[in-house]
């Protein structure tokens, strides 16, 4: 693993062959598996839950699994994902009644915790909980669907978040999710991100090795 993590979003994978798809992107050089959980309530789409996470573990996937919760309520699904083998569990502050409690619950369950910020959600939520966060995830699209375009104002928000992290001295990862492509990943990295979710830009290509190599080449510049 390099300092930069590439996190394929399995939302764009072929769900009928999910285990194989995940193995293929990992052997092509992906670092972590981004697992989008949508409930048709907090976001207008419905995807997968802890059973699928557990199935990936049983299929021999040992890489970190980065569970992005787009569900409301948040708390009752956290222990289920921890038991199912999640490594990171991140949630949207608007979806939790008690943000501090949800973050603590994730850590108490033995996982790494994170807060997710929609494009128009201010970073202010971080102020009192920074020491309880292992990952900050900035959405660069509105959540719910893959294949949307990167919202450019995310670049300034990434710079703000990078400064908050650096000033804190804490080992917090800064992840970006939505519209990440080969032609913008360098700019996104320069703005401060170190963890890059990419769904359609990976799974909609025929050769994952070639695609991951192109992402890595951009990041190496
Ligand atoms: C959107 C999801 C993303 C999505 C990214 O709500 O959180 O992870 O799958 O897909 P792309 O990379 O296609 O924008
Ligand atoms: Zn996501």
Sequence ranges of the domains in the chain: 5-220
- Strand-strand pairing, 65-70 and 88-91: parallel
Q: Is the pLDDT of residue 79 over 80?
A: yes
Q: Report the pLDDT value the prediction gives residue 221, as an integer from 0 to 100.
A: 79
Q: Is the pLDDT of residue 162 over 60?
A: yes
Q: Report the pLDDT value the prediction gives residue 197, as an integer from 0 to 100.
A: 99
Which ligand neighbours the alpha carbon of 8 most closely? 1
Q: Which of 1, 30, 23 minimizes the C-alpha distance to 197? A: 30
Q: Report the pLDDT value the prediction gives residue 2, as an integer from 0 to 100.
A: 61
Q: Could you tell me the distance, in angstroms and rounded to a whole number, from the CA of residue 8 to the centre of ligand 1? A: 9
Nearest CA to ligand 1 atom 10: 146
Kindly state the average pLDDT of the residues 198-215: 98
Q: Could you tell me the distance, in angstroms and rounded to a whole number, from the CA of residue 116 to the centre of ligand 1? A: 13
Beta strands in 75-161 (DSSP E): 88-91, 112-117, 135-139
Q: Is the pLDDT of residue 60 over 50?
A: yes
Cα–Cα distance, 101 to 211 (Å, whole number): 39
Q: Which of 10, 36, 135, 140 most suits a substitution to test ligand 1, by most atoms within 8 Å of the C-beta?
A: 36
Catalytic residue status for 177: yes
Specify the 3-state DSSP secondary structure of 161: helix
Q: Which of 177, 191, 186 minimizes the C-alpha distance to 216? A: 186
ipTM above 0.95, yes or no: yes
Q: Which of 128, 66, 71 minimizes the C-alpha distance to 103? A: 128
Cα–Cα distance, 216 to 156 (Å, whole number): 23
The pLDDT tens digits of the residues spanning 105-126 come to 999 999 999 999 999 999 999 9
Arithmetic mean of pLDDT over the chain: 97
Q: Report the pLDDT value the prediction gives residue 1, as an integer from 0 to 100.
A: 46
Kindly state the average pLDDT of the residues 42-65: 98
Portion of the chain with pLDDT greater than 70, in percent: 99
Superfamily for the 5-220 domain: Aldolase class I (3.20.20.70)
Residue 104 — pLDDT band, cuts 50, 70, 90?
Answer: very high
Q: Is the pLDDT of residue 42 over 70?
A: yes
Ligand 1 binding pocket, CB closer than 6 Å:
9, 11-12, 34, 36, 68, 141, 143-144, 146-148, 177-180, 197-201
Cα–Cα distance, 86 to 51 (Å, whole number): 11
Q: Report the pLDDT value the prediction gives residue 214, as an integer from 0 to 100.
A: 98
Beta-bridge mates of residue 36: 68
Portion of the chain with pLDDT greater than 90, in percent: 99
Which ligand neighbours the alpha carbon of 13 most closely? 1
CB count within 10 Å of CB 67 equals 28
């Amino acid at each position: 693993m390099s300092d930069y993590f590439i996190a394929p979003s399995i939302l764009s994978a072929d769900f009928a062959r999910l285990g194989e798809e995940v193995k293929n992107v990992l052997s092509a050089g992906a670092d972590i598996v981004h697992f989008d959980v949508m409930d048709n309530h907090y976001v207008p789409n419905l995807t997968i839950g802890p059973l699928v996470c557990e199935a990936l573990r049983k299929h021999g996937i040992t890489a970190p699994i980065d569970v992005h919760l787009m569900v409301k309520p948040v708390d009752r699904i956290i222990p289920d994902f921890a038991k199912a083998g999640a490594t990171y569990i991140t949630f949207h502050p608007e979806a939790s009644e008690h943000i501090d409690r949800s973050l603590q619950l994730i850590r108490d369950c033995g996982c790494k915790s994170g807060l997710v910020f929609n494009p128009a959600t201010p970073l202010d939520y971080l102020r009192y909980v920074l020491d309880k966060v292992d990952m900050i995830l900035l959405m660069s699209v509105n959540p719910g669907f893959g294949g949307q375009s990167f919202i450019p104002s995310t670049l300034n928000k990434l710079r703000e978040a990078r400064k908050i992290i650096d000033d804190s001295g804490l080992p917090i990862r800064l992840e970006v999710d939505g519209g990440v492509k080969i032609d913008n990943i360098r700019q996104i990295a320069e703005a401060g991100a170190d963890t890059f979710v990419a769904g359609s830009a990976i799974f909609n290509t025929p050769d994952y090795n070639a695609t991951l190599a192109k992402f890595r080449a951009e990041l190496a510049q």
